[in-house]
Amino acid sequence: MDDLYPLLKYVHRTCAVLSISGFLFRFGLMFRGSPVLGRKWIRVAPHVNDTALLAAALALAGLSGQFPFLEGWLTAKVCGLVVYIILGSVALKRGPTVGIRTAAGVGATVAFAYVVSVALTKDVRGFAVLV
């Protein structure tokens, strides 16, 4: 089982990079009013990737014995993820104006950066712990 941990960590990190890359790509398409945004694979791929991301996260938590609401930094990651999802949804489809969508897109990107910083530092303060 210990041999599985590095592979799961790699899958998790790869899916995280694909998640933010896909979000930024779709965010750009939304600004351009591109019809590509309506293609089925553009709508489905993020859900497939995010499912793999979540599955890898759950497997890593199980293997390491670290769980949200027991580990503060992991709880912070989950909370940041929820903020990223909500703001991302507003940015891509639920925001009624371009200004709201822009603000939500920036907020989603900041939330994602926070989640990554918490993951790297294992501290709820994220990159602020380095200051």
For residue 2, give Cα distances in angstroms to 6, 17, 41, 105, 110: 8, 24, 35, 38, 33
Q: What's the pTM? A: 0.90
> What was the pLDDT predicted at 129?
87
Question: In a structure prediction context, what are the per-residue pLDDT tens digits for the chain, which is 131 residues long?
Answer: 668 999 999 999 999 999 999 999 999 999 898 999 889 999 999 999 999 999 999 999 999 988 888 899 999 999 999 999 999 999 999 999 999 999 999 999 999 999 999 999 999 999 898 77
118, 66 in Cβ contact below 8 A? no
* Span between the terminal Cα atoms of the chain, in Å: 37
> What was the pLDDT predicted at 36?
93
